[in-house]
């Protein structure tokens, strides 16, 4: 299993116990009084059979508090997620902290910062880089990009998942899937004997759309890991207040938990935070805003009480359109506060320009942010050996010093985190080496990874299984007329490349 | 009294007072205030708010709050205009909706609300609207503008599908197509042959006004 990082101190708490209880009670009240619109008859019937009050005309289910609390108790507080390489399984829960990338729909051009579709080669290279980065522990989305050039929209997730399976030996999940493509993702997971996280995207306020509920059924019935999302935009799809949106988001998450735990008791579930203040000028979510941090800390405090592993997805995106100062501070502050608050999985790597672009250079830079945060979480070891009283007495005043001591050789590497793409040179060295910035170092590191890192290959049988499922998906969507003649012709030509599937 | 009613209509919009806007509109009808003048009073209010938004003094909730007040009062006055056999001068007609397979409504609804408040007649088809439903509305309402929203990259191509239907049915040169939503860029809009794209709701409404001018 991947160790990730261990938080060796109490998590950050900004609410009193009474305040946490007030948010919990508020959510239970909303669930009982107003309930959730669930556009899925089978789900409504199941909820009704288990004590919910259901109005089929309004497609509304109202939840008795006792049922909500009973279903919360059915959720395991810790579980394993199986990766292709068993050494890279995740074990979630407690004080373990992992990091993963945040997706961008397209690749950002690193000269102009304009978005464009990634090529097939860029997609596979992006996955390879994520495989190589020490602090990317899993993938939980259509990462790095939403498909690549030449692929029709409905095939973008299945093609992306195939690339992840081929070039990423750590665990894989996906938080939202269009056009029922989870069917093919689940088949790939089963063929390889791995977990494939996924499930139902919630539409705030208080609505579960039918297609998403269907996806949840498929995941839960296949025995895969799923999640309960909290996705309000404060002032847009939730109240403008962080506390109010914690109530509405929590009501949505708790309703999702009830549904999943009724479909299959004991289903492994994460609690996902993907909530933002609304930008009150343009109307989009305020990515990277400090409200994200406050909301994450509240969310973590609440969900630690419920005992589910916690993921903060909103820590990954930034409002900045390019790799710059704003991009760095927005990501670092969001990720650090998430980590301090007790989140178990933090989305961070690679995203630039909200959810619109990703670049591996940003992922390489973010890997250092993850490393720094991880080091902070490990805390300060206080033992006889680290206190080093005998050593201090032995070294004494100047000219005594510590650089030549065995204690130093042993401990500095355990105590310090050394970033891989940051400038720490002295000024004369910096001049002599061409005045390189962190971004320059990231470029060098990217070239090095692509030249040297080789992901663990699939066996021929696994490769065949993936290709067979892709073929089935292509034929299915073609038959359903979800791929036009024009798209099909471009797609088929792209498959004829001598480098298929890599470029 | 009539001047007071007009002043109160305007104030209701400026103060985001939906209930007040509706009750002053009813009062205007009861007291025989010219409904077109009453509509003008509402428009003055929304323009004042819009100008303050443009100067950065007010924010989106203010703009949408004022627009909601205005759209509560407007149907009451429009009913009176129809009853009197008069015709309201609208800036233009917009058919709007989120494309098939996409259930995101908030951005589209903000655009619809702001457009209605600015004096457009807005036919809001809701979310997950098929190409055929868009075509039906276009045949029926003959709008100046077709506005389509898509938040997902999977659903954005639906906008191209609707444009293709417009071409096939000979409507393409009769309606201006504006696209928007999180998944849309200027390049994409150009590629699918749309006439315009704006990234935010207030900018979209400004574009609509330019189109019909």
CATH (domain of B39): 1.10.1240.10
Q: Are residues B103 and B78 in the same domain?
A: no
B104 plus B31 within the same structural domain: no
Spatial separation of the C-alpha atoms in residues A449 and B185, rounded to whole Å = 32
Per-residue pLDDT tens, chain A, 503 aa: give them: 999 999 999 999 999 999 999 999 999 999 999 999 999 999 999 999 999 999 999 999 999 999 999 999 999 999 999 999 999 999 999 999 999 999 998 999 999 999 999 999 999 999 999 999 999 999 988 899 988 999 998 899 899 999 999 999 999 987 666 668 889 999 999 999 999 888 888 888 999 988 889 989 999 999 999 999 989 999 989 999 999 999 999 999 999 999 999 999 999 999 999 999 999 988 889 999 999 999 999 999 999 999 999 999 999 999 999 999 999 999 999 999 999 999 999 999 999 999 999 999 999 999 999 999 999 999 999 999 999 999 999 999 999 999 999 999 999 999 999 999 999 999 999 999 999 999 999 999 999 999 999 999 999 999 999 999 999 999 999 999 889 898 999 999 999 988 999 87
Q: Please report, to the nearest 10 degrees, the dihedral formed by the alpha carbons of residues A183, A184, A189, A191 taken in order.
A: 120
Taking the model in full, what pTM does it have?
A: 0.91
User: Is residue B77 located within the same domain as residue B97?
Assistant: no
Give burial (CB, 10 Å; 0-12/13-18/19+) of A82: buried
Q: Based on the domain organization, do B187 and B142 belong to the same domain?
A: yes
Residues of B in contact with A287 (CB under 8 A): none
Residue closest to B48 by CA, chosen among B22, B66, B61, B35: B66
Residue A458 is given by DSSP the state: P
Q: Is the dihedral of CA B38, B40, B41, B45 positive or negative?
A: positive
| CATH classification code of A5-12+79-234+269-378 | 3.20.20.480
pLDDT for res A178: 66
Whether the Cβ atoms of residue A157 and residue A362 lie closer than 8 Å to each other: no
Q: Identify the pLDDT of residue B144.
A: 96
For strands A53-55 and A60-62, give the pairing.
Answer: antiparallel
Residue B65 and residue B108 in one domain: no
How open is the CA angle B135-B89-B41, to the nearest 5 degrees?
125
- Per DSSP (E only), the strands in A356-478 are 357-358
pLDDT for the residue A319:
96
Closest residue to B183, CB basis, from A105, A179, A203: A105
Boundary (domain end) residue, out of B40, B60, B83? B83
Q: Nearest-CA residue of chain B relative to A151?
A: B154
Contacts of A426 (CB under 8 A, 6+ apart): none
Same domain, B11 and B101: no
| B110 and B72 belong to one structural domain | no
Domain boundary among B83, B100, B133: B83
H or E element in which residue A138 lies: strand A138-140
Q: What is the pLDDT of residues B66-83, one digit of tens each?
A: 988 998 999 999 899 999
- Where in chain A are the domains? 5-12+79-234+269-378, 384-452
H helices within B17-127, ranges in order?
A: 18-30, 35-54, 60-83, 106-118
Three-state DSSP at A61 gives strand
Of A178, A235, A283, the CB nearest to B200: A283
A54 token code pair: 């259901």
Chain A hits for B182, Cβ within 8 Å? 284, 355-356
β partners of residue B98? B149
Sign of CA dihedral B63, B67, B68, B70: positive
User: Which pLDDT value is given to residue A106?
Assistant: 92
Alpha helices, DSSP H only, in B119-185? Answer: 131-141, 157-168
Q: For chains A and B, what is the number of CB pairs under 8 angstroms? A: 48
Per DSSP bridges, beta strands A60-62 and A233-234 are unpaired
Q: Which residue ranges in chain B fall short of pLDDT 50?
A: none
> B201-212 and B35-54 helices cross at what angle (nearest 10)?
130
Residue finishing a domain among B66, B83, B100: B83
- The whole-angstrom separation of Cα A347 and Cα A332 is 11
Contacts of A356 in chain B (CB under 8 A): 182
Question: Structural domain of residue B71, as residue ranges?
Answer: 2-83
- Answer whether A246's CB lies under 8 Å from A271's CB: no
User: How far apart, in whole angstroms, are the C-alpha atoms of residue A245 and residue A241?
Assistant: 6
Q: How far is A217 from chain B (nearest CA, A)?
A: 19
Please name the member of A203, A240, A284 whose beta carbon is closest to the beta carbon of B103.
Answer: A203
Read off φ and ψ for residue A308, nearest 5 degrees: -105, 150
In which element (H, E) is residue A152 found?
none
Among candidates A50, A45, A44, which has minimal Cα distance to A74?
Answer: A50
Give me the pLDDT at residue A197, please. Answer: 87
- End-to-end alpha carbon distance in chain A: 31
Pick the residue of B64, B99, B103, B206 with the most A CBs within 10 A to test the interface with A by mutation.
B103
Q: Are residues B107 and B167 in the same domain?
A: yes
Q: Which of B61, B103, B201 sits opposite A209 (nearest CB)?
A: B103
Provide the domain count of chain B: 2
Residue B153 to residue A284, Cβ atoms within 8 A: no
User: Can you read off the two tokens belonging to residue B91?
Assistant: 């800036």
Side-chain-side CA neighbours of residue B111 (13 Å): 36
* pLDDT for the residue A352: 97
Residue with tokens 């938004």: B53
Whole-Å CA distances, A196 to A106, A147, B64 = 23, 18, 41
- Is the Cβ pair A235, B61 closer than 8 Å? yes
Pair (B101, B188) in one structural domain: yes
B63 and B108 in a common domain: no
A72: left (phi over 0), alpha (psi -120 to 50) or beta: alpha
What distance in Å separates residue A82's CA from the closest CA in chain B?
29
Q: How far is CA A76 from the centre of its chain?
A: 20
3-state SS, residue A401: coil
Residue A170 CB contacts under 8 Å (≥ 6 apart), including other chains = A2, A83, A84, A85, A88, A131, A136, A137, A138, A139
- pLDDT for res B157: 74
Q: A206 in contact with B at a CB cutoff of 8 Å? A: no
């Amino acid at each position: 299993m991947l160790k990730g990082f261990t938080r060796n101190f109490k998590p950050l708490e900004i609410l009193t116990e009474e305040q946490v209880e007030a948010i919990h009670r508020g959510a239970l009240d909303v669930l009982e009084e107003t309930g959730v619109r669930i556009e899925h008859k089978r789900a409504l019937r199941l909820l009704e059979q288990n004590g919910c009050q259901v109005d089929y005309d309004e497609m509304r289910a109202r939840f008795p508090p006792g049922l909500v609390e009973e279903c919360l108790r059915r959720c395991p507080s810790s579980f394993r997620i199986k990766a292709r390489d068993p050494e890279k399984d995740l074990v979630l829960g407690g004080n373990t902290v992992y990091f993963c990338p945040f997706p961008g729909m397209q690749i950002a051009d690193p000269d102009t910062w304009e978005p464009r579709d990634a090529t097939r080669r860029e997609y596979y290279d992006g996955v390879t880089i994520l495989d190589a980065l020490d602090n990317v522990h899993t993938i939980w989305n259509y990462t790095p990009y939403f498909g690549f050039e030449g692929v029709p929209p409905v095939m973008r997730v299945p093609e992306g998942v195939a690339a992840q399976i081929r070039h990423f030996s750590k665990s894989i999940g996906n938080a939202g899937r269009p056009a029922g493509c989870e069917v093919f993702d689940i088949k790939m997971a089963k063929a390889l004997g791995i977990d494939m996280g996924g499930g139902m995207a919630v539409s705030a306020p208080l609505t579960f759309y039918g297609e998403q509920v269907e996806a949840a059924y498929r995941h839960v019935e296949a025995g895969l890991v799923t999640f309960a999302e909290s996705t309000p935009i404060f002032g847009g799809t939730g109240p403008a207040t962080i506390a109010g949106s914690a109530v509405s988001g929590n009501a949505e998450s708790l309703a999702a938990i009830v549904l999943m735990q009724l479909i299959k008791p004991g289903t492994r579930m994460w609690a996902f935070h993907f909530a933002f203040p609304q930008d009150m000028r343009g109307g989009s979510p305020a990515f990277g805003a400090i409200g994200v941090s406050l909301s994450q800390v509240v969310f973590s405090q609440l969900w630690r009480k419920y005992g589910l592993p916690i993921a903060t997805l909103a820590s990954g995106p930034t409002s900045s359109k390019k790799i710059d100062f704003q991009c760095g501070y927005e990501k670092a502050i969001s990720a650090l506060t998430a980590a301090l608050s007790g989140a178990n999985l933090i989305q961070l790597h690679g995203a630039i320009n909200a959810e619109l672009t990703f670049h591996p250079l940003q992922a390489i830079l973010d890997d250092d942010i993850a490393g720094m945060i991880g080091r902070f979480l490990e805390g300060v070891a206080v033992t006889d050996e680290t206190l080093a009283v005998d050593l201090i007495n032995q070294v004494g005043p100047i000219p005594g010093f510590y650089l030549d001591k065995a204690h130093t050789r042993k401990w500095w590497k355990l105590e310090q985190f050394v970033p891989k793409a940051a400038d720490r040179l002295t000024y004369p060295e910096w001049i002599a080496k061409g005045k390189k910035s962190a971004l320059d170092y990231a470029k060098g590191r990217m070239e090095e990874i692509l030249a040297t890192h080789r992901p663990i290959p699939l066996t021929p049988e696994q490769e065949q299984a993936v290709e067979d499922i892709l073929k089935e998906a292509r034929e299915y969507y073609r038959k359903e007329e979800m791929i036009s003649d024009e798209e099909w012709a471009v797609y088929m030509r792209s498959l004829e490349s001598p480098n298929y599937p890599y470029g | 009294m009539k001047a007071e009613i007009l002043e109160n209509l305007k104030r209701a919009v400026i103060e985001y007072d939906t209930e007040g806007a509706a009750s002053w509109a009813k009062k205007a009808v009861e007291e025989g205030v010219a409904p077109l003048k009453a509509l003008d009073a509402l428009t003055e209010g929304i323009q004042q708010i819009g100008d303050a938004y443009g100067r950065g003094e007010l924010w989106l909730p203010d703009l949408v709050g004022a627009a909601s007040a205005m759209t509560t009062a407007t149907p009451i006055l429009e009913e009176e205009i129809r009853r009197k056999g008069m015709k309201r001068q609208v800036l233009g007609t917009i058919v709007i909706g989120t494309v098939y397979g996409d259930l995101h409504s908030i951005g589209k609804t903000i655009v619809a609300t702001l457009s209605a408040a600015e004096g457009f007649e807005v036919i809001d088809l809701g979310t997950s609207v098929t190409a055929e439903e868009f075509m039906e509305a276009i045949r029926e309402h003959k709008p100046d503008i077709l506005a389509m929203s898509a938040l997902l990259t999977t659903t954005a191509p639906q906008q191209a599908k609707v444009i293709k239907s417009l071409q096939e049915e000979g409507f393409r040169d009769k309606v201006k197509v504006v696209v928007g939503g999180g998944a849309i860029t200027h390049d994409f809009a150009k590629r699918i042959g749309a006439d315009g794209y704006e990234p935010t709701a207030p900018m979209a409404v400004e574009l609509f006004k330019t189109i019909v001018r």
